C-alpha cells in the first residue's frame, strides 16, 4: 500500500473512531454533533459540552463601538447548556442596613415617576471544573443619568439642540424655550425643547421610565451570567458575517445542577439576610460583584421586546414625533 493510502482515513472512519472513544468514557453525541453528554453508569446525564450559535438578528449579540457583546438573550440561550439557575431575592439590604423590596424603584419627588431602579440577582451552578459557584450583583439602573447622557450626545452632534454650559450662563431667553440639566455641580447641558432631536430624547426617556424595571432585570441577569465561571468566557465574542446579520459560536461546559427547590429557597433566604451560603453543609464559592451601575451601552442594547414593539407602533402611528411635533408643538 502506498504511503498516501496508509494515512488516508475517510471522514466516516475518523468520526467512527471518535465515537468509540467517547463510548469508552460514557460520552454520547446528540443531534448534529454539536452537543456531547457524559452519563453516569445508570445512564443519567451528568455533564454536557456543546457549541451554541448566537445570532445578531435574534438580539443575542450586539456590536457597540467596535466590540461585540453577548446580550441577556444570548446568555439565556447559552445557559440552556450551562444549566445555571437565576435567583431573585424578594428583598435586599439597603446601604443603611434596612430591608427593601427587590427590585426597588426610586421615585422622582415632583413627578412621582421612576428615576432609578435597584435590583439584585444571583446565578447558581457549576463551574467548568465542577465546583458549585454563585455569582451575585446589585444593579443601579439610573434612568435620569441615561437621559442626561442622551442629551449630551444630541447637543454634541447638533448645535441647534443646545449646548454644554455652566448654570449661571443660562439666560431668561433660554428658559423660555428650554431647560438646564446638571451633570456635576454647576456644569450641565442646556437643551431646546423645540428641537426634534431633543423631543426624541424625551420620548426615549419616557419609555425608559415605563419599561425600566424589566430592562434593569435583564441587565442584572446578564451581569451575573457574565461573572459566573461557566459563562464568563463569552461576555464578548469575535463574530463573523455581515453587519446586522453576524453570528458567533461559543463552547459551553455544563453540569446537571442537582439542587432541590428547598435548597434554592435556602440560598435565596440566606442571600436576603446577608448570611454565608451553603448547600448540604458545603460552603459555596461566591463571586460578589457588589453594586454596579448600568452603562449607557447596556441600556441601549437590553431593550425589552414590548418596548421595541411599542417604539415601532408609535413611530408608525405618530411620524410627527420624529419630526419634532406633537409633544410640545411647534
Render pLDDT for 130-171 as a digit per residue (tens, 0 to 9). 788 999 999 999 999 999 999 999 999 999 999 999 999 999
Q: What is the pLDDT of residues 89-106, one digit of tens each?
A: 998 888 787 889 999 999
Per-residue model confidence (pLDDT) at position 9 = 56
Q: What is the pLDDT of residue 71?
A: 96
Q: Could you tell me which of 158, 146, 125 has the C-alpha nearest to residue 253?
A: 125
* Per-residue pLDDT, 207: 92
Residue 294 has pLDDT above 90, yes or no: yes
Sign of the CA dihedral with 289 first, then 293, 296, and 298 last: positive
Strand 45-55: give its sheet, edge to edge: 27-30, 35-39, 45-55, 247-255
Give the pLDDT band of residue 300 (cuts 50, 70, 90).
confident
Domain membership flag for residue 267: yes
Q: What own/partner pairs with CB < 8 Å and gap ≥ 24 does 274-280 have?
A: 274/93, 277/134, 279/132
| 167 is a domain residue | no
Residue 126 confidence (pLDDT): 87
The whole-chain average pLDDT of the chain stands at 81
C-alpha cell at 89: 431575592
Q: Residue 267 pLDDT more than 50? A: yes
Q: Is residue 269 part of a domain?
A: yes
With respect to residue 12, please indicate whether it lies within any of the assigned structural domains. Answer: no
pLDDT of 27 > 50? The answer is no
Report pLDDT for 313: 57
The cell for 114 is 421612576
Instruction: Judge whether 183 lies within some domain.
Output: no
Assign residue 329 a region (left: φ > 0; alpha: ψ between -120 and 50; beta: otherwise): left
pLDDT confidence of residue 35: 55
Give the model's confidence band at 7: pLDDT under 50 very low, under 70 low, under 90 confident, else very high. Answer: very low
Q: Please report which helix (H) or strand (E) contains residue 291, including its range.
A: strand 285-293
Report how many domains make up the chain. 1
**DSSP H or E segment with residue 322:** helix 319-322
pLDDT digits (tens, 9 = 90+) for 198-210: 999 999 999 999 9
Res. 296: pLDDT tops 50: yes
In a domain, 90, yes or no: yes
Residue 89 in any domain: the answer is yes
Percentage of the chain modeled with pLDDT above 70: 76
Range of the structural domain that residue 266 is part of = 25-158+195-322
**Do the domain assignments include residue 180?**
no
Mean pLDDT of 104-128: 92
Check residues 43 and 279 and name the one with the higher pLDDT: 279
pTM attached to this predicted model:
0.77
* Residue 314: per-residue pLDDT: 57
325: exposed, middle or buried (C-beta count within 10 Å: 0-12, 13-18, 19+)? middle
Amino acid at each position: 500500500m502506498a504511503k498516501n493510502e496508509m494515512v488516508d482515513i475517510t471522514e466516516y472512519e475518523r468520526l467512527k473512531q471518535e465515537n468509540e472513544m467517547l463510548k469508552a468514557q460514557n460520552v454520547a453525541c446528540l443531534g448534529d454533533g454539536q452537543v456531547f453528554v457524559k452519563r453516569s453508569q445508570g445512564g443519567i446525564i451528568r455533564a454536557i459540552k456543546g457549541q451554541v450559535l448566537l445570532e445578531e438578528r435574534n438580539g443575542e449579540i450586539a456590536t457597540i463601538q467596535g466590540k461585540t457583546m453577548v446580550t441577556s438573550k444570548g446568555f439565556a440561550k447559552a445557559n440552556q447548556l450551562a444549566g445555571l439557575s437565576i435567583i431573585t431575592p424578594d428583598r435586599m439590604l439597603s446601604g443603611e442596613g434596612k430591608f427593601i423590596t427587590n427590585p426597588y424603584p426610586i421615585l422622582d419627588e415632583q413627578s412621582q415617576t421612576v428615576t432609578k431602579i435597584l435590583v439584585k440577582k444571583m446565578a447558581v451552578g457549576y463551574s467548568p471544573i465542577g465546583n458549585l459557584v454563585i455569582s451575585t450583583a446589585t444593579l443601579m439602573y439610573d434612568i435620569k443619568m441615561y437621559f442626561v447622557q442622551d442629551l449630551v450626545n444630541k447637543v454634541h452632534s447638533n448645535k441647534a439642540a443646545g449646548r454644554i454650559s455652566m448654570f449661571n450662563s443660562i439666560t431668561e431667553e433660554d428658559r423660555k424655550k428650554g431647560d438646564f440639566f446638571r451633570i456635576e455641580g454647576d456644569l450641565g447641558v442646556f437643551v431646546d425643547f423645540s428641537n426634534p432631536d431633543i423631543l426624541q430624547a424625551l420620548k426615549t426617556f419616557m419609555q425608559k421610565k415605563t419599561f425600566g424595571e424589566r430592562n434593569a432585570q435583564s441587565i442584572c441577569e446578564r451581569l451575573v451570567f457574565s461573572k459566573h465561571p461557566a459563562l464568563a468566557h463569552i461576555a464578548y465574542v469575535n463574530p463573523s458575517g455581515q453587519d446586522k446579520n453576524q453570528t458567533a459560536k461559543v463552547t459551553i461546559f455544563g453540569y446537571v445542577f442537582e439542587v432541590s427547590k428547598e435548597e434554592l429557597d435556602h440560598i435565596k433566604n440566606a442571600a436576603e439576610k446577608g448570611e454565608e451560603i451553603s448547600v448540604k453543609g458545603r460552603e459555596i464559592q461566591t463571586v460578589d460583584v457588589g453594586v454596579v451601575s448600568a452603562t449607557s451601552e447596556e441600556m441601549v442594547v437590553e431593550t425589552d421586546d414590548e418596548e421595541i414593539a411599542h417604539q415601532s407602533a408609535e413611530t408608525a402611528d405618530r411620524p410627527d414625533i420624529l419630526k419634532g411635533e406633537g409633544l410640545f408643538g411647534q
